[in-house]
Amino acid sequence: MKADKNLWILVFVCVINSLGFGIIVPVLYTYGKTFGLTGTTLGILTATFSIAQFFATPVLGSLSDKWGRKPLLVISLAGTCISFLMFAEARSLIVLFAARILDGLTGGNVSVAQAMVADTANAQNRAKRFGILGSAFAFGFVIGPVVGGSFSALSAQAPFFFAAGISLLGTLCAAFLLKETNPTNKETRSKKQYHFKFSTMLTTLKRKTVGTAVFIGFILTMAQFTMVIGFQTFSVDVLKISPTQMGIFLAGFGICGIIMQLCVPFFIKVFKSKPLILMISTLLCFAAMFLSGLNSLLIPFAIWLCIYGLFNGLRNPMLNAIIADNIDKSEQGKILGINQSYASIGQTLGPITAGLIAVISIHSIFFLSSFYILVAFLLSFRLKSNA
């Protein structure tokens, strides 16, 4: 019961944290233009967060293995709060970049939260708990843009102050309500010598099951962020829908993922095998993405993209559970941090590759995304053989 209470407190913290991030999405470009932000520099500004997170996340995850999850989660949330305040008080483009870098460097909240779930879960309920946690993050991202757009009517700085406020609330909840799931003391810390090396990023990929799962997560993240670029350009240039309609579309896409993540226990009960569920969902994602690229009409495009959104929602719960099932408790923070780092690379490379192939056609972006998914599907056979 105590573990369940801690899980729901963690869910609340994650909703608050992702809500704060979602709030700034619709207002960041407009706000940054006052400091000279352009479409090109917006891409660089977005990439700086992912790059900083790539280097910081495995380090923070490893530190949480030694010093405990709670202090690292509090530090991560506090860093996000400070970064939003920097945005609100910014007077130059340099400050905006500094804020995104700070948020990236302290952006270990996802992997630390996942490690906290893994600490108290077992093989039977691990995927379910990861699904609940994933739906918490997704919920914040879905409603965040709506809240951000509403607060922008008050002032340009209002969304950032509000995001800082709720991030502070999340920090306080983590500090005073969450229970530590990886308790340490002087004696246990002395046995956990901290020697994280970035070469571990490569050696992790060599581990048969864990490395395959991490790489599949990287490929599927790249596919998703490739699709996001295709969706934006296709919606504007082909479907001719308005920003409001696009926002509703994205919200629907996010809700599809939330629904599927909450259904994880059902799929586990029916199929028993996590690798098998991943294989089936990935194959369906491939088909939906490929068929999306063949369409130029709104209704068929929306149907296929929603099917993709549904089954893509199973990705993280299954992969995180497979990884956690195959690692020692003493390295959960480190490995889940490395997993998040590779996801950060995928978030960066996806839009870049989408931009490069867009010179062929808008439809080719969806075909590229489906190719990535197909690669992930073929790799998932390695997980099935190890199950």
User: Which domains, from first to last, does the chain contain?
Assistant: 1-179 (1.20.1250.20), 200-386 (1.20.1250.20)
Q: Give me the DSSP letters along 85-108.
A: HHHHT--SHHHHHHHHHHHHHT--
Q: What length is written for the chain?
A: 387
Rounded alpha-carbon distances, angstroms, from residue 190 to 64, 119, 178, 289, 328: 14, 20, 25, 50, 18
pLDDT (tens, 9 = 90+) of the chain, 387 residues, equals 455 778 888 888 888 877 777 777 667 777 888 888 776 677 678 778 878 888 888 888 888 888 888 998 899 889 989 999 998 999 889 999 999 899 888 876 777 888 888 888 887 788 888 888 888 878 877 788 778 877 888 888 888 899 899 889 989 988 998 888 888 766 665 555 555 676 777 888 888 889 999 999 999 999 988 887 787 778 778 888 775 676 677 777 778 888 888 888 889 888 888 999 999 999 999 999 999 889 888 889 889 988 998 999 888 889 988 998 888 877 877 888 888 888 888 888 888 888 888 888 888 889 999 999 999 999 999 887 555
Rounded alpha-carbon distances, angstroms, from residue 53 to 82, 123, 179: 16, 29, 25
Q: Contact, 115 vs 133, CB < 8 A?
A: no
Distance CA 38, CA 29 (A): 8
pTM of the model as a whole: 0.77
Q: Contact, 335 vs 112, CB < 8 A?
A: no
Q: Contact, 354 vs 226, CB < 8 A?
A: yes
Q: Contact, 179 vs 2, CB < 8 A?
A: yes
**Cα angle 268-270-275, degrees, rounded to a multiple of 5:** 50
Q: What is the DSSP letter of 329?
A: G
Distance CA 16, CA 332 (A): 24
Distance CA 57, CA 55 (A): 6
Of the candidates 130, 162, 144, the residue with the CA atom closest to the CA atom of residue 18? 144
